[in-house]
Amino acid sequence: MGNNNSLSVLTEDLLEEYTILTYLSKGEILHLYKVFSRLAPNGILGDLNWRFPCENLEEIFTQLKYNPFKDRIFRVFSSQKDGLMSFEDVLDLCSVMSERCPDKVKAAWAFQIFDFDEDEAVGTEDLMNVIKRLTSSAGFISETDQKHIIKILMNEMDLELSGRVGIQEFVHAVGKMSEFPHSFCFKF
């Protein structure tokens, strides 16, 4: 941090705390602070609680710009669920999307993203939404095919046979998918 006054709000103690609470290194946190500061009116982020519109964050995280789940990602990681994100919200997002984040933690956050109706379960409608978002650019998938895919997914994930997938069932199912951790990750 040295003599750079623009980083004075990010003290050594706070930086150390962030490294303990996230899966990010000090260097990554400092980099995120520098990049995030570009959004501040004067180019200096003097208040770590200042909340920025999620649309502005697409300038920083271009990998989310065309993500079919970007609205859900921003909603889930916005601590106030208000379409705005603070620096700490961004740290949470980047921590989960880092390669060092454990698969089970990633899966728990993915569960929240896929729980579109926010009823603490992934049900048929949530899965229908996931399929539509994943296939919208690839072309149309018939409703019959969508229902067939959902039936297969529910047979595999709904261990309690409740017609809905709870977080533990979801984490268990995602744990069997070797490619999941790599698809729920990005560089920043």
Q: Tokens 């995030």 appear where?
A: 36
CA separation for the pair 108, 113 (Å, rounded): 9
Same fold, 5-97 and 103-183: yes
* Length reported for the chain: 188
Q: Where are the domains of the chain?
A: 5-97, 103-183
CATH superfamily of 103-183: EF-hand (1.10.238.10)
CA separation for the pair 42, 46 (Å, rounded): 9
* CB neighbour list of residue 92: distance below 8 Å, 6 or more residues apart: 22, 77, 79
pLDDT tens-digit readout, 157-176: 999 999 999 999 999 999 99
Report how far apart, in Å, the C-alpha atoms of 174 and of each of 50, 91, 96, 107, 155 are. 34, 23, 15, 6, 14
The architecture that CATH gives domain 5-97 is Orthogonal Bundle (1.10)
pLDDT tens-digit readout, 97-120: 999 999 999 999 999 999 999 999
- Among 66, 72, 151, smallest CA distance to 115 is for 72
CA separation for the pair 71, 76 (Å, rounded): 9
pLDDT tens-digit readout, 31-72: 999 988 888 877 778 888 889 999 989 888 888 998 999 999
Round the average pLDDT of the chain to a whole number and report it. Answer: 90
